[in-house]
Amino acid sequence: MEMPVKCSRCRASYSEIYIPYMRQYLCIDCFNKFFESRIVKTVEKYRMLSRGDYIGVGLSGGKDSTALLTVLKKYFPDKRYIAIHLHHGIYDYSEDSLRAARELAESLDVELHVFRYSDEIGITIPDVKKTKYGRKICATCGTIRRWALSKAARELGVDILATGHNLDDTLEIMLNAFIAGDYESIRRLRPVLPPSPPNNYWKVKPLINTPEYEVLLYVMFNGLPVKRIDCPFAEDARSLRRKEILRLWEEREPMIKFQLFGSFMKKLIPLLDRVEEEGEPVEYRVCRVCGGPSSGEVCSACRRIEYVKRLVIERRR
């Protein structure tokens, strides 16, 4: 039986967690201070909340957005917050996610805006599963989710939209985009993104350098309300497989995630920025269906939504 170890920081309490990349044992109080401090420093370093006072936070009911809203409300209480929850219509999973989001919003005294797919766009994610997009349901769900969150933020008139993308999310997307040669997606991973017309809000990612496992610990240690049911469509998601590769890599090299993130911020992003400056100016277009930003006449989300809606209507006849 292992002997209890004192906290490396306070030296008063016994530790509850070991952080390999720091080689430190931390008690719950010291871990909370460490976790929250990094998020606050990230917000201040990139001046994430300096562009306005009305902050929209994408609140899924999962651990990342739950931790994000909790920390922002605690350390930046002078801002006005609204939690934006997307209800995908995925049976008990979506109801459980809404329960968790509502519990947190009420406990923090934050307004909750629910964007129900069934009401707002006339379809649900289970409808998508029954179409040709069902083979890549997570990718299609992600496209619609980003579109819905953007639409809600635009309609609510927020100054800033904060999302709970953590370090593991960022690196997984970066690796996937790098493999696909999608360098524009890599550029959009930066901590702060300016408005893309017709959107008039800034996008920020305060958890961008926070490991996913530490987010889970923070939520558990503090008893925060999170969804209990896993999405039934995400069992074999590619993102989960690539995160597992990162986890195995981290076991051998504890600092690898931070090294990758450092290279991303200090070398790759500046390089891509120079390429853009030397190239043709970016032309913003507006989707003729939803009025949001688009690379073509109709954005990819609207094309998918209209296709699924057409199939749903045909099946009902």
Inside any domain, residue 27 = no
Angstrom distances, CA of residue 62 to CA of 215, 270, 280: 10, 32, 40
CA angle centred on 50, ends 45 and 52, rounded to 5°: 155
Q: What is the pLDDT of residue 1?
A: 46
Instruction: Write down how long the chain is.
Output: 317
Alpha carbons 192 and 248: distance in angstroms, whole number:
29
Inside any domain, residue 201 = yes
Inside any domain, residue 307 = no
Name the nearest CA neighbour of 217 among 23, 87, 31: 31
pLDDT < 50 positions in the chain: 1
The answer for residues whose C-beta is within 8 angstroms of residue 256's C-beta and 6 or more apart is: 246, 249, 250
Inside any domain, residue 99 = yes
Full DSSP string of 32-81? HHHHHHHHHHHHHHTTTTTT-SEEEEE--SSHHHHHHHHHHHHH-TTSEE
Domain that holds residue 208: 46-283
Alpha carbons 163 and 170: distance in angstroms, whole number:
12
Inside any domain, residue 95 = yes
Contact 125, 117 (CB under 8 A): yes
Inside any domain, residue 290 = no
CATH number reported for the structural domain that contains residue 121 in this entry: 3.40.50.620
Q: What is the pLDDT of residue 256?
A: 94
Alpha carbons 221 and 208: distance in angstroms, whole number:
21
Q: Are strands 54-58 and 160-162 parallel, antiparallel or unpaired?
A: parallel
Question: 0.85 cut: is pTM over it?
Answer: yes
- The amino acid present at 226, given as its one-letter code, is V
- The amino acid present at 103, given as its one-letter code, is E
Inside any domain, residue 305 = no
**pLDDT tens across 271-299, in order?**
777 766 665 555 678 999 999 988 889 99
Kindly give the residue spans of alpha helices, DSSP state H, lying in 117-166.
117-120, 125-129, 137-156
Domain count, the chain: 1
CA angle centred on 293, ends 290 and 294, rounded to 5°: 90
- What the block records as the tokens of 12 is 């008063």
**14 - beta bridge partners?**
6
Q: What is the pLDDT of residue 257?
A: 94
**pLDDT tens across 200-213, in order?**
899 999 999 999 99
- Rounded to the nearest 10 degrees, the angle between the axes of helix 91-108 and helix 63-75 is 10
Q: What is the pLDDT of residue 282?
A: 57
Inside any domain, residue 293 = no
